[in-house]
Structure 1
């Protein structure tokens, strides 16, 4: 079981560490709303990673071709959602009072809401499940076939992802403490929004 847990941890870090739209979004959540909100979003990513690790173990190579076949519509859904997220991040940059724009709707700043939003963003990313399915289908992990080994693999993947996402949340919170005031709020809103929209465009061009 120890080997399966380690294999899951390696897989979890491999999918979590590369910087993408979700990482940028988590950093901006930490910078603008604090660690608890960003941590909620980070746990949403970890939940999705653990879910996809479970699906990959259960269905393996059977799942990957189906996801690949549906990759184009899923990609365009991802693009649309990322653009919406980017526009939302940009709004405080063009408001006369960016601080008021951030706190105008307290429901948008709760950890639970961040968890749900980021969980949804990660679930519609087809690359995650394709990655796990391809990984488990490979010869290196074909021996993960008992219940305890599968539980250990999923636990390793989920905990590895969670640890990295919480680190990202902390980095965003630190950024928010360094960049304070209206100018800092505008800068973080502008950088975060533009970065997410740029990643949406890149995703669309690759479809």
Structure 2
């Protein structure tokens, strides 16, 4: 049983640690807004990883096979959304700061914890390669046989804990960057850098490999 949790932990770090567009998005959100918003976005990623780990552990190769035909379109949709977020972030950084403050309830984009969680959860779910990754690990570990429910749940718990801990670390790093560059110019620079990186990573998602 403990082996299943540790396997999920290792698998979760394996898929979470490589820095991609989502990590840059979380970093930029935390720097621009607050740790609460960044942490909500981080938990959105962890929830998506947990759902995909559950699908792989309980469905195995069948789930991966169902997602394979739509992997290309889903990757394209994810890239378009990321480009839109990059453009929105750049626009927010460059627009004049003369407008009055907007209440949190009326904000758009991912600037509140609820929107950050839901938006990043949905965006992360548009990466079907994650479930293929988890399915390969699960089936390889089980020798082609589906694990029992208890073992599958422990695997999922390990994957969720790993993903959540890493993404929260990224959110915390973004908060530290935001505090170090707390002035308007510093926040403008971090927002623009974040937008450029997100756009570059989104473009890389759809380029031929």
What is the TM-score with the length of structure 1 in the denominator?
0.92
Q: Could you say what secondary structure the match of 1:70 adopts?
A: helix
Please state how far the C-alpha of 1:57 moved relative to its aligned partner. 1.1
Residue 15 of structure 2 is aligned to residue 15 of structure 1: yes
For the 8 Å contact 2:74–2:127, the answer to whether it is kept is yes
CA contact (8 A) 2:139 2:146 kept: no
Question: Does residue 1:97 correspond to 2:106, yes or no?
Answer: no
In terms of fraction of residues, the more helix-rich structure is 1
1:83 deviation in Å? 0.8
1:142 Cα deviation (Å)? 4.9
CA drift at 1:141? 6.6
For residues 74 and 10 of structure 2, the distance between their equivalents in structure 1, rounded to whole angstroms, comes to 26
Any conservation in 2 of the 1:38–1:169 contact (CA below 8 Å)?
A: yes
Q: For residues 2 and 141 of structure 1, what CA distance do their matches in structure 2 show? A: 18
- Please name the residue that 1:70 is paired with: 70
Runs (5+) with no aligned partner, structure 2? none
Deviation at 1:140, TM superposition (A): 5.3
- What residue in structure 1 maps to residue 172 of structure 2? 170
Q: How many residues align?
A: 205
Query: Of the candidates 111, 114, 118, which is equivalent to residue 112 of structure 1?
Result: 114
Name the CA shift for 1:177/1:131 in 2 (closer, same or farther; >3 Å).
Answer: same
Query: Which deviations, in whole Å up to 9, do the C-alpha atoms of 1:120-162 show, x marking residues without a partner?
Result: 1100112211211222121457566222111111100001111
Q: Which runs of 5+ in 1 are unaligned?
A: none
- Normalising by the residue count of structure 2, what TM-score does the alignment of the two structures yield? 0.91
